Amino acid sequence: MQKQNYNFFILIWPTQTLSTLGNLILSYGIGIWIFLQTHRALDVALGITAFYLPAWIFSRMVEKYIKLYSPEKILLYTSLCGLFLWALIEIIRNYQQSLITIYFALIISGFLKSFRVPALAIFIRKYSENNDYQKNISLFSLGNATTALISPEIATVLLKVGNGNINSLLITNIISYFGIIYVLLRTLKIKNIYSKEENKEQINPTKINIKKKYPTICILIVFTSVMSFCSNRTYESILSPMILSRSNENQTVLAIVNSFFGLGSICGGILLTKKIFTIKNPYTVFYLSALISFLFGDSLMALGQNCLIWCLAAIAATIPMPFVTAASNMIVYQNASVNDHPKLFTQINSWESLMIPIGAFLGGYLADNFFTPLISRTNNLSFLLEKVVGKTEGSGMALMFLGTSIIGSFLSISGFFINKMISINKK
């Protein structure tokens, strides 16, 4: 990698991370604001759906434009549109504070995100020296983990300062775009000719059958979608209610456990960045890391009934996740044609995004209408389950974590051996 290209990458990393921080602060704060306005969890779930569903609906359009334009341009255009969108919402809210306006903005923001995620994956591949993908992927993983750790606290403070108004969140998000836009505008003029030449070679009008051409990547797409579904069915949907229920509504315990989720991801990112652990076989690392997360993280979260065990569960669940992200990207980088990267990364993101609202809706429903009544019954099965997860408030939700642990572990092992069989058949 030329020194100029490396300097460009190093500038993009912190500015994109800052932009991500602004987005997370806003999305977390909007979730709280929607609930405070309506006091209905369903309205929050509708906001989640509005944000994530466009990535699946517009996946074909995204594939086309990710091929036509360089990743630098995609990042620039989406950042400019994001800046304009939220600035417009801030102006509109001075005259009309409508929930429908926020839902509409979330749909547009999710549409922009559907371009940004695959473009960023292609950007990392493009600027990785000597195919050294691990370090560059891990830098962004470390940045994302840090923003995930601090964004809830910042959003909460801004909401309190604004007396429950989201104007301060909107302004913070708007400001976060300026860094990435400035760096891209300053550098893109120099790289404009190179980007056009590269993209002419990348455009491939023929359709590809992922299942036939890349069977192992097809399995990867299915598995990442399942992981996204499981995560949002449990961690994103019922984790907070479960911990509050099993800790006598101790919000301090919940805050401590949430902080350990961020710390675990940061530790995993550091391990990758410093190359304390080198990814030599991405397939093995991907499925093994997922297995560790499901087997130890989810099971400890289910069996634990105190803050210490839940913190250990958070660490066990999140340290492997940067390895999962890095390994999945490296599988695509190393095993697929560059022409097919836009389609593959778009498909991975679109199916993951589809599973998020489905998991969010289904998690709460199953907890209230199936697992909690199941463990409350007076029969031999309920008695056995109580011995495993305890007989306290929130035991039904704990049972969901235990089920996710068993299913996720089984799928991780199955995915590993299916991939091995496909590799043997190819040889």
Sequence ranges of the chain with CATH classification 1.20.1250.20: 1-203, 208-427
294 or 376, which is more confident: 294
| pTM summary value | 0.86
Architecture of the domain delimited by 208-427 = Up-down Bundle (1.20)
Q: List, for residues 243-264, the tens digit of each pLDDT value.
A: 888 888 787 888 888 889 989 9
- Torsion angle of C-alpha atoms 276, 281, 282, 284, degrees rounded to 10: -100
What is the per-residue pLDDT for 14? 92
- 313 with 297: CB under 8 angstroms? yes
Q: Please identify which residue in the block is written with the tokens 């530790």.
A: 267
Among 34-38, 56-60, 84-88, 180-184, which is the least confidently predicted range? 34-38
What is the per-residue pLDDT for 347? 93
Region 110-124 average pLDDT = 94
Q: Please identify which residue in the block is written with the tokens 């093994």.
A: 288
Helix, strand, coil abundance in the chain, percent, nearest 5: 85, 0, 15
388 or 88, which is more confident: 88
What is the per-residue pLDDT for 122? 94
Q: Where are the beta strands (DSSP E) in 62-136?
A: none
What is the per-residue pLDDT for 194? 44
Among 231-235, 297-301, 306-310, which is the least confidently predicted range? 231-235
For residue 196, pLDDT over 50 is answered with no
Residue 301: which H helix or E strand, with range? Answer: helix 299-303
What is the per-residue pLDDT for 130? 64
Q: List, for residues 78-104, the tens digit of each pLDDT value.
A: 999 999 999 999 888 877 778 899 999
Is the domain covering 1-203 a CATH 3.40.50.410 domain?
no
What is the per-residue pLDDT for 247? 86
Q: List, for residues 123-168, the tens digit of each pLDDT value.
A: 999 888 766 788 889 889 889 889 988 888 888 888 888 887 888 9
Can you tell me whether residue 13 is helix, strand or coil?
A: helix
